[in-house]
Amino acid sequence: MAVTDQSQASELPPVLQRPSKGFRWIFALVVILLAFCAGGAYFWTNIETFAEAPPAHEIEAPTRGLSPEDRDVLLRIRSEQQKTAEEIAELNRNVDAQQAELKRISGQIVALIQRIDELQNPAPVVSPAPAPSSPPVRTTSRPAKRDVRPSKPQGAVSVGGAPLTAEPSTEQR
C-alpha cells in the first residue's frame, strides 16, 4: 500500500516519474555525435600536419621490419618518384621557355602586320601648293591610248568595194 500511496501522492504522470531507457540511448547518441563533430573540427583545422610527409629518418624506421626485397622495392619506388619529379620540373621549364618564345614570335608577327599595312596604305605626303600653270598629274598608271584614225582619202572612194577607174582630169581632155 505504501507504493500506491506514493504514486498517488505524486502529481507527475508515471512516464515522467522514472527515466526511460529510450532517453538514455538518445542522450548517449547525442554525446557520441558531439564527440565526432569535435574530432572532425580538430582534424579540419590541423589537416596540414596530417598531410605533411614525415622526415626521412621517420620513414626508414618502419622499413627496418620489412624484408630485404620489400626494402629494395621501396627504394626503387622512391628513386622513380625523384626521377619523375625531376622530369616534371624539366617539362615545366620547357613549357615556360616555349611560352616565352611564342610571345616573342607573336610580337614579331604583330610588328610585321603593322609594317605591311603601312606599306599598302602609305600616309599622304604634304607637299607645297601646286603651281597653277602646271596641268594636273594623274597618279594612276594607265597605258596611254593613241587615237589612231585612218587617213582621209583624197579622191573617189568606192563604197561597194569595186575598183574605181580614174576619171580623166580636165587637163588631159
User: How far, in Å, CA of 165 to CA of 158, rounded?
Assistant: 10
Measure Cα distances from 58 to 16, 62, 71 in Å: 58, 7, 15
Residues 6 or more apart in contact with residue 71 via CB below 8 angstroms: 63
pLDDT at 25: 84
Q: Which amino acid is at 139?
A: T
Whole-model pTM above 0.85?
no
DSSP, collapsed to helix, strand or coil, labels residue 26 as: helix
Query: Residue 158 gets which letter from DSSP?
Result: -
pLDDT at 116: 93
Say if residues 48 and 41 touch (Cβ distance below 8 Å).
no
Per-residue pLDDT of the chain (173 residues; tens, 9 = 90+): 555 555 555 676 666 666 667 778 888 899 999 999 998 888 888 887 767 755 555 555 566 678 888 888 999 999 999 999 999 999 999 999 999 999 999 999 999 999 999 999 876 666 666 555 655 555 566 656 666 666 665 666 667 766 667 666 665 54
